[in-house]
C-alpha cells in the first residue's frame, strides 16, 4: 500500500457525520458570508490563542498582506524574514511594495537566526516576520528588543506553545494539510494590538464597516461560514491531533531513525506540522523511499532568495545565507499526520535503514 506524506482524510474521516451536521445547519440558515460561525470561530480562536481578537480571512497569504497593509508598510520599507520558508512569506512583503531582507536560519531549529536578524536591522526596517517553521515555535524573545514590530507567520503552527502572543499580529493558514485545517482555503489573523485588529477587520472587507462608507483601499478576503463551521469542530480536536503528532515524532526516534539522519530536535511546544530530518544522503534516501511507495518531500529546495521573482531584490546586493542553502539541500520530510499507524512508521524506518546500510557498504 502506498504511504502518503500526509493523510488528511484519515484525520477527519470519523468526523464526517458531524461535519455533515454542521453543513446542514449552515444550509438551513441561508447565511454564508460573515455569519454566526465566523464570529464564534473568531471568539473561540482568540480565547485559544490568548489574544484579544482574531479575524477570519480567505487564506494565509492574504492574512500576511492584510497585516502589512494595516501597518501601512509599503514602498521604501524593509521587512526582515527567513528565506527558508514557503514563498508566500516574502511574496506578501513584495505585494505591498516593500523589500524583503532575508536572514539566515539556525541550523538546529531551522527557524530564523535572531543574531543574523539583529545584524540586518536598518532605519528602513518596519517589521520582522519570523516563521514558526514545520510547527516549531521560533525563538522570539531575542527579537523583542530590536525596536521593530514582530509579525509571526504561524501558518504551519496552530496549537504550538508560546506563539501568537508576542508579535503585534500572527497569521495562520487553514490549507488542508495544516495542523488546524479547513476543507478548502482559509486563514486567520490573530492580533495582540486592538487598533491593528480593527484595521485588518476593515481591510478584509473593502475598508468598510457598514458597506456604505469606504475608508481605506482594502480587499475582499473573508473566511466563509461553511469553512468556519468545520473549523470550529476541528478546533475541538486540535490538541488531541497535535498530541498524536508529538507521539508519532517520539516513535520515529524510538525506532532508531536517528542512527541514519539528524532528527528534528524536540521541544515541548513543537507540533510537527511536518516531520523533517536532515541528511547529506537526502537524494539516496528519497529514492529508496519513493521506490518503496513511501511519499517524501524536500522543502524549499530553491530557497526564496534564489527564486526568479526575487531577482529585483537580490540583484542589487547578493544574498549569502549558508545555513539556508545547506538546509535546502539536506532536508527530507517523512510521512506525518495525526494518527499515522505505528506499522507505517516502522516501514519508513526500515527502508531508511536498508538504504543507509547499502549506501555505507558501497
Ligand X SMILES: Cc1ncc(COP(=O)(O)O)c(C=O)c1O
356 lines the binding site for ligand X (CB under 6 A): no
Give Cβ neighbours of residue 241 (< 8 Å, ≥ 6 apart): 11, 159, 179, 338, 339
Residue nearest to ligand X (CB): 60
Report which of 99, 55, 42, 105 is spatially closest to residue 321, judged by C-alpha positions: 105
How far is residue 169's CA from residue 130's CA, in Å, rounded to a whole number? Answer: 11
Give Cβ neighbours of residue 246 (< 8 Å, ≥ 6 apart): 270, 271, 272
For ligand X, which is the closer residue by CB, 92 or 285? Answer: 92
Q: How far is the CB of 14 from ligand X (least distance, A)?
A: 25
173 lines the binding site for ligand X (CB under 6 A): yes
Binding-site size for ligand X (CB under 6 A) equals 15
153 lines the binding site for ligand X (CB under 6 A): yes
How far is residue 89's CA from residue 237's CA, in Å, rounded to a whole number? Answer: 27
81 lines the binding site for ligand X (CB under 6 A): no
Residue in the block written with cell 525563538:
139
CA 352, 353, 357, 358 dihedral sign is: negative
113 lines the binding site for ligand X (CB under 6 A): no
For ligand X, which is the closer residue by CB, 63 or 288? Answer: 63
138 lines the binding site for ligand X (CB under 6 A): no
Q: How far is the CB of 38 from ligand X (least distance, A)?
A: 16
Of 59, 170, 179, 304, which one interacts with ligand X (CB under 6 A)? 59
How far is residue 192's CA from residue 168's CA, in Å, rounded to a whole number? Answer: 5
Of 156, 221, 345, 356, which one interacts with ligand X (CB under 6 A)? 156
89 lines the binding site for ligand X (CB under 6 A): yes
45 lines the binding site for ligand X (CB under 6 A): no
What cell was used for 299?
522543502
Tell me which residues touch ligand X (CB under 6 A): 59-61, 85-86, 88-89, 131, 153, 155-156, 173, 175, 185, 187
Amino acid at each position: 500500500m502506498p504511504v502518503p506524506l500526509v493523510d488528511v482524510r484519515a484525520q477527519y474521516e470519523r468526523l464526517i457525520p458531524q461535519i455533515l451536521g454542521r453543513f446542514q445547519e449552515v444550509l438551513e440558515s441561508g447565511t454564508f458570508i460573515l455569519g454566526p460561525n465566523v464570529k464564534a470561530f473568531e471568539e473561540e480562536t482568540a480565547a485559544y490563542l490568548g489574544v484579544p481578537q482574531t479575524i477570519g480571512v480567505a487564506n494565509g497569504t492574504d492574512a500576511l498582506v492584510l497585516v502589512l497593509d494595516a501597518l501601512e508598510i509599503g514602498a521604501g520599507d524593509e521587512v526582515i524574514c527567513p528565506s527558508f520558508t514557503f514563498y508566500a512569506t516574502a511574496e506578501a512583503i513584495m505585494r505591498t511594495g516593500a523589500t524583503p531582507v532575508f536572514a539566515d536560519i539556525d541550523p538546529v531549529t531551522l527557524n530564523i537566526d535572531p543574531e543574523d536578524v539583529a545584524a540586518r536591522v536598518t532605519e528602513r526596517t518596519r517589521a520582522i516576520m519570523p516563521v514558526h517553521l514545520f510547527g516549531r515555535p521560533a525563538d522570539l524573545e531575542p527579537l523583542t528588543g530590536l525596536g521593530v514590530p514582530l509579525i509571526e507567520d504561524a501558518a504551519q503552527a496552530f496549537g504550538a506553545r508560546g506563539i501568537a502572543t508576542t508579535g503585534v499580529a500572527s497569521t495562520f493558514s487553514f490549507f488542508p494539510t495544516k495542523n488546524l485545517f479547513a476543507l478548502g482555503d482559509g486563514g486567520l489573523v490573530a492580533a495582540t494590538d486592538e487598533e491593528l485588529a480593527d484595521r485588518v477587520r476593515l481591510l478584509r472587507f473593502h475598508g468598510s464597516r457598514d458597506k456604505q462608507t469606504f475608508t481605506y483601499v482594502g480587499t475582499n478576503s473573508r473566511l466563509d461560514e461553511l469553512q468556519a463551521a468545520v473549523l470550529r469542530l476541528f478546533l475541538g480536536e486540535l490538541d488531541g491531533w497535535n498530541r498524536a503528532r508529538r507521539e508519532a515524532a517520539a516513535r520515529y526516534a524510538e525506532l532508531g531513525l536517528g542512527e541514519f539522519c539528524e532528527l528534528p530536535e524536540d521541544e515541548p511546544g513543537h507540533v510537527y506540522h511536518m516531520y523533517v530530518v536532515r541528511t547529506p544522503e537526502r537524494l539516496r534516501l528519497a529514492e529508496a523511499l519513493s521506490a518503496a511507495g513511501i511519499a517524501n518531500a524536500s522543502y524549499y529546495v530553491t530557497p526564496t532568495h534564489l527564486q526568479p521573482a526575487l531577482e529585483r531584490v537580490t540583484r542589487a546586493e547578493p544574498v549569502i545565507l549558508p545555513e539556508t542553502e545547506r538546509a535546502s539541500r539536506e532536508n527530507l520530510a517523512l510521512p506525518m499526520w495525526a494518527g499515522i499507524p505505528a506499522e507505517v512508521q516502522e516501514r519508513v524506518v526500515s527502508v531508511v535503514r536498508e538504504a543507509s546500510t547499502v549506501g555505507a557498504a558501497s
